[in-house]
C-alpha cells in the first residue's frame, strides 16, 4: 500500500510561509507530478513528505497513519535527488546495497535484491563499475536502484533528470514511466518542466507560491485550465492571452480589433480570451477575427510558429503548417477556434463556457 494524504499541510521558515494549507490525496500506485516555477516550494513539499523537513501545520498521513512528526525511516518512502549522491569509492553493487547493509539483512538477501533491481534497471553488466565509469543517465539509474532495493511504499523524485542532456532526458522519462508500470508503486515526482509533467503524470498538481493552483489529469489541465497561471504554464508554446470585453449576447469584442461569436453564460464578463497557438489560423486579412502584421516566424520542421503583431492585442503566436507562405511584414488575418478558446475574468479565474446548443 502507498496512499499519501496531506491535510491543510503547511511549512513556515520563520515568518515566511513556504507551503500553505495544502490538501492532497494520493492513491496507492498513482503517479503524481508536482510542477511549478523555481522557488514555488516543490522541494520543500517533497522533503516534508519524506520527513526531511518538519511540517509546521496540518497533517500528513501515509496509509491512513498520522506520520506528521514521524522520522523519515518510519515513513518507508525512498527519495531520488537531482544530484545522484553516489559514493565515488563504491561500485554500483556496493552503492545499491549500502542502505541494506545498515539493516540486519543477510549478505545473500542483499545480493538477491540488488540483482533483481539491477535486472529491472538494465544495470546488470555495470554492477562492478565505479560511478566515474558511468554516464549521467546510468548514474541516475543507480540512484533509482538504491531506492528500489529498499522496497519503499512510495518513491519521491526531486527533478531527477535536470542534470541530463535533452536526448537522455527523453530516454530516462520513458524509463521512469516503464518503471512505474513495472513496480506499480506510488510515485511523487517534482519538476519545473511542464513536458515531463504532461508525459509522466496520472495527475498533475500545479504549484505557485506554495499553493495549489489546480490539480487534474494532463488532459484536464490542458483543455480546461482553472486560471491564467495554469493556462500559460501548461502547454508549449504557451497559450496566447488577448484582452477582450463582452459586447452583447454571445459576442466578445477583441479590444476594438474585431469580434468573435461565442456561447456565453448571461452573467459572464470575460476580460481575456486564451487561445493556444494550434487553435489559431492564418487567413486573409479581411476574413479573420482580428488582423495583424507578421513580425517573425520560426520554422520548426513539423510546423512553423508565426508571430503576428497587433498594436492593441500584442504579439500573437500562431502555429502554422511548416511551409507557411506568409512573409515578414505581410498583413494577415487570424481566425480563432472559438470552441477551443478559454475565457478569463478580471481576477484571472477561468469562466465556464456555456455549451453550444
Residues that bind ligand ADP (CB under 6 A): 13, 18, 36, 38-44
All three cell numbers of 65, joined, read 497513519
3-class secondary-structure state, position 327:
coil
Distance, in Å, from the CA atom of 318 to the CA atom of 272, rounded to the nearest integer, reads: 17
Cα–Cα distance for residue pair 272/9, rounded to 1 Å = 33
**Is 20 exposed, middle or buried (CB count within 10 Å of its CB: 0-12, 13-18, 19+)?**
middle
Q: What is the DSSP letter of 193?
A: -
CB of 171 to ligand ADP, least distance (A): 24
The Cα 316–Cα 65 span in angstroms is: 51
- Smallest separation, CB 156 to ligand ADP (Å): 12
Nearest approach, Cβ of residue 42 and Mg ion (Å) = 5
Give yes or no for a contact between 34 and 24, defined as CB atoms under 8 angstroms apart: no
In what helix (H) or strand (E) does residue 215 lie, and over which residues does it extend? strand 211-216
Residue nearer to ligand ADP on the CB measure, 189 or 344: 189
- CB of 143 or CB of 254, closer to Mg ion: 143
- Tell me the residue number closest to Mg ion, measured at CB: 43
What whole-number distance in Å separates Cα of residue 192 and Cα of residue 38?
A: 7
113 binds, among Mg ion, ligand ADP, none (CB under 5 to 8 A by kind): none
Query: Residue 55's binding partner, choosing from Mg ion, ligand ADP, none, with beta-carbon cut-off 5 to 8 A by kind?
Result: none
Nearest distance, CB of residue 222 and ligand ADP, angstroms? 22
Report the residue number, 159 or 257, with the smaller CB distance to Mg ion: 159
From the CB of 39, what's the least distance to ligand ADP, in Å?
A: 4
Question: Of 43 and 215, which has the nearer Cβ to Mg ion?
Answer: 43
180 binds, among Mg ion, ligand ADP, none (CB under 5 to 8 A by kind): none
| Smallest distance, ligand ADP to C-beta of residue 83, A | 13
Residue closer to Mg ion, measured from CB, 22 or 306:
22
- What does the DSSP 8-state code read for residue 1? -
Q: Cell 559514493 appears where?
A: 87
CA atoms within 13 A of residue 342's CA, in its CB half-sphere: 25
Instruction: Please state the closest distance from residue 161 (CB atom) to ligand ADP, in A.
Output: 15
**CB closer to Mg ion, 43 vs 140:** 43
Give me 339's grid cell.
470552441
Surface-to-core class of residue 334, CB atoms within 10 Å of its CB (0-12 exposed, 13-18 middle, 19+ buried): buried
Cα(181)–Cα(322) distance, integer angstroms: 36
Convert residues 17-56 into a mask of x (bound to Mg ion by CB under 5 A) and - (unbound): --------------------------x-------------
User: Which partner from the list Mg ion, ligand ADP, none does 41 bind, CB cut-off 5 to 8 Å by kind?
Assistant: ligand ADP
Please identify, using beta-carbon distances, which residue of 149 and 206 lies nearer to ligand ADP.
206
Establish if 194 lies at the interface with Mg ion (CB under 5 A): no
Q: What's the full length of the chain, in residues?
A: 357
By a kind-dependent CB cut-off of 5 to 8 A, residue 44 interacts, out of Mg ion, ligand ADP, none, with ligand ADP
Residue 57 CA to residue 10 CA, distance in Å, equals 5
Cα 104 to its chain centre, rounded Å, is 39
C-alpha grid cell, residue 221: 489541465
Q: How far is the CB of 147 from Mg ion (least distance, A)?
A: 18
Binding site for Mg ion (CB under 5 A): 43
Amino acid at each position: 500500500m502507498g496512499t499519501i494524504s496531506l491535510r491543510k499541510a503547511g511549512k513556515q521558515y520563520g515568518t515566511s510561509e513556504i507551503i500553505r494549507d495544502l490538501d492532497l490525496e494520493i492513491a496507492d500506485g498513482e503517479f503524481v507530478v508536482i510542477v511549478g516555477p523555481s522557488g514555488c516550494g516543490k522541494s520543500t513539499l517533497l522533503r516534508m513528505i519524506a520527513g526531511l523537513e518538519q511540517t509546521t501545520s496540518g497533517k500528513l498521513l501515509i496509509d491512513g497513519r498520522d506520520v506528521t512528526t514521524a522520522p523519515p525511516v518510519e515513513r518507508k518512502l525512498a527519495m531520488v535527488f537531482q544530484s545522484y549522491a553516489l559514493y565515488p569509492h563504491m561500485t554500483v553493487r556496493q552503492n545499491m546495497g549500502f542502505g541494506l547493509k545498515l539493516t540486519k539483512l543477510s549478505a545473500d538477501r542483499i545480493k538477491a535484491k540488488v540483482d533483481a533491481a539491477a535486472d529491472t534497471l538494465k544495470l546488470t553488466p555495470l554492477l562492478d563499475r565505479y560511478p566515474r565509469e558511468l554516464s549521467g543517465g546510468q548514474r541516475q539509474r543507480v540512484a533509482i536502484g538504491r531506492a528500489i532495493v529498499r522496497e519503499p511504499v512510495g518513491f519521491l523524485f526531486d527533478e531527477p533528470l535536470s542534470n541530463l542532456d535533452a536526448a537522455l532526458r527523453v530516454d530516462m522519462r520513458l524509463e521512469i514511466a516503464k518503471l512505474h508500470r513495472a513496480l506499480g508503486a506510488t510515485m511523487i515526482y517534482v519538476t519545473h518542466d511542464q513536458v515531463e509533467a504532461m508525459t509522466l503524470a496520472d495527475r498533475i498538481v500545479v504549484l505557485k507560491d506554495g499553493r495549489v493552483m489546480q490539480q487534474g489529469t494532463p488532459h484536464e489541465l490542458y483543455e480546461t485550465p482553472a486560471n491564467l497561471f495554469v493556462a500559460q504554464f501548461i502547454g508549449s508554446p504557451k497559450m496566447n492571452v488577448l484582452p477582450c470585453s463582452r459586447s452583447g449576447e454571445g459576442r466578445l469584442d477583441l479590444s476594438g480589433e474585431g469580434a468573435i461569436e461565442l456561447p456565453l453564460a448571461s452573467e459572464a464578463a470575460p476580460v481575456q480570451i486564451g487561445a493556444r497557438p494550434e487553435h489559431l489560423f492564418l487567413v486573409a486579412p479581411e476574413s479573420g477575427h482580428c488582423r495583424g502584421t507578421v513580425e517573425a516566424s520560426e520554422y520548426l520542421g513539423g510546423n512553423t510558429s508565426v508571430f503576428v503583431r497587433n498594436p492593441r492585442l500584442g504579439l500573437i503566436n500562431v502555429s502554422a503548417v511548416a511551409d507557411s507562405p506568409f512573409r515578414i511584414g505581410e498583413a494577415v488575418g487570424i481566425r480563432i477556434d472559438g470552441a477551443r478558446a478559454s475565457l478569463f475574468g478580471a481576477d484571472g479565474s477561468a469562466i465556464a463556457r456555456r455549451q453550444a446548443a
